[in-house]
Amino acid sequence: MDYTTKDLAELIFPDLPYTIEDLNRMFPPRNLKEGAMVTRFAPSPTGFLHTGSLFTALVAQKAAKQSGGVFYVRLEDTDSKREVVGSSKELLEQLKEFDVIPDEGYLGDGEKGQYGPYQQSKRADIYKAVIKELIIKGRAYPCFCSVDDLNRLRETQERNKQIPGYYGRYASCRSLTLEQQIARIKNGEPYVIRFRSLGNHNHKIEVTDLVRGRLFLAQNDQDIVILKSDGLPTYHFAHLVDDHFMHTTVVSRGEEWLSSLPLHLELFETMEWEPPHYAHLPVIMKLDNGNKRKLSKRKDDEAAISFFLKDGYPKEAIIEYLFTIANSNYEEWHAKNPSLTFENFHFTFEKMSLDGALFDLSKLQFLARETMVKFSPKEMKDKALAYAKQYNPELERVILSNPNYFEQIMAIEKDKANPRKDYMKYSELLDKNRFFYNEFFEEMVKEAAPFNPLFPKEVIVSILQEFADTLNFEVPEQEWFEGLKKLANKYHFADNNKIYKANRETYIGHVGDVAEMIRIALTTSKQSPNLYYILKILGKEEVKRRINLAIEKL
RNA sequence: GGCCUGCUGGUGAAGCGGUUUAACACAUAGCCCUCUCAAGGCUACAUACAAGGGUUCGAACCCCUUGCAGGUCACCA
| CATH classification of the domain holding A300 | 1.10.1160.10
Q: Is the domain of A136 the same as that of A255? A: yes
Is residue A516 one of the residues assigned to a domain? yes
At residue A306, the 3 state secondary structure works out as: helix
Query: pLDDT tens digits for A197-229?
Result: 999 988 888 888 999 888 888 899 999 999 999
Q: What is the CATH number of the domain that holds A483?
A: 1.10.10
Is residue A33 one of the residues assigned to a domain? no
Q: Is the domain of A12 the same as that of A145? A: yes
Q: Is strand B less than 7 A from the beta carbon of A357?
A: yes
Q: Is strand B less than 7 A from the beta carbon of A217?
A: yes
Q: Is the domain of A362 the same as that of A413? A: no
Q: How far apart are CA A113 and CA A111, in angstroms?
A: 7
Q: Is the domain of A295 the same as that of A260? A: no
Q: Is the domain of A303 the same as that of A448? A: no
Residue with CA nearest to B35's C1' atom? A512
**Number of structural domains chain A divides into:** 4
Q: Is strand B less than 7 A from the beta carbon of A121?
A: no
E-state strands within A172-212? 192-195, 204-209
Q: Is the domain of A157 the same as that of A297? A: no
Residue with CA nearest to B39's C1' atom? A420
Q: Is the domain of A267 the same as that of A316? A: no
Is residue A522 one of the residues assigned to a domain? yes
Q: Which of residues 489-548 of A touch strand B (CB under 7 A)?
A: 496-498, 511-512, 515-516, 519, 526-532
Q: Do residues A27 and A3 lie in contact, with contact meaning Cβ atoms separated by under 8 Å?
A: no
Q: Is strand B less than 7 A from the beta carbon of A79?
A: yes
* Domain stops at, among A420, A455, A490: A420
A430: number of CA atoms within 13 Å, CB side? Answer: 18
Q: Is the domain of A384 the same as that of A491? A: no
| Rg of chain A, C-alpha, whole Å | 33
Q: Do residues A36 and A4 lie in contact, with contact meaning Cβ atoms separated by under 8 Å?
A: no
Cis peptide before A403 (omega within 30 of 0): no
Protein CA at A331 to nucleotide C1' at B23, angstroms:
14
> What's the domain range around A133?
5-17+124-281
Query: Which nucleotides on strand B sit less than 7 A from a protein beta carbon?
Result: 1-8, 10-14, 23-28, 33-40, 69-77
Please name every residue paired with A208 in a beta bridge, in sequence order, or none if there are none. Answer: A214
Please give the distance of CA A92 from its chain centroid, rounded to a whole number. 12
Q: Is the domain of A308 the same as that of A403? A: no
Q: Is the domain of A254 the same as that of A390? A: no
Q: Is the domain of A402 the same as that of A459? A: no
Q: Is the domain of A10 the same as that of A158? A: yes
ipTM: 0.91
Q: Is strand B less than 7 A from the beta carbon of A241?
A: no
Q: Is strand B less than 7 A from the beta carbon of A162?
A: no
User: What pTM value is reported for the model?
Assistant: 0.90
Is residue A47 one of the residues assigned to a domain? no
Is residue A533 one of the residues assigned to a domain? yes
Q: How far apart are CA A279 and CA A252, in angstroms?
A: 5
* Domain stops at, among A373, A399, A430: A373
Q: Is strand B less than 7 A from the beta carbon of A200?
A: no
Q: Do residues A89 and A109 lie in contact, with contact meaning Cβ atoms separated by under 8 Å?
A: yes
Is residue A338 one of the residues assigned to a domain? yes
Alpha-carbon torsion (A42, A46, A47, A51), positive or negative: negative
Residue A434 burial by Cβ neighbours in a 10 Å radius (0-12, 13-18, 19+)? middle
Which parts of chain A have pLDDT scores under 70?
1, 289-291
Is residue A46 one of the residues assigned to a domain? no
Protein CA at A331 to nucleotide C1' at B65, angstroms:
38
Residue A47 burial by Cβ neighbours in a 10 Å radius (0-12, 13-18, 19+)? middle
Protein CA at A450 to nucleotide C1' at B14, angstroms:
50
Specify the pLDDT at position A290.
63
The DSSP output letter for A119 is B
Specify the pLDDT at position A289.
65
Q: Could you write out the DSSP letters of every residue in A243-275?
A: HHHTT-SEEEEEGGGGGGHHHHHHHHHHHT-PP
Q: Which long-range contacts (CB under 8 A, 24 or more apart) does A490-495 make?
A: A490/A466, A491/A459, A491/A462, A491/A463
Is residue A342 one of the residues assigned to a domain? yes
Q: What is the CATH number of the domain that holds A247?
A: 3.40.50.620
* Domain stops at, among A373, A402, A431: A373
By C1' distance from the Cα of A485, the closest nucleotide is: B35
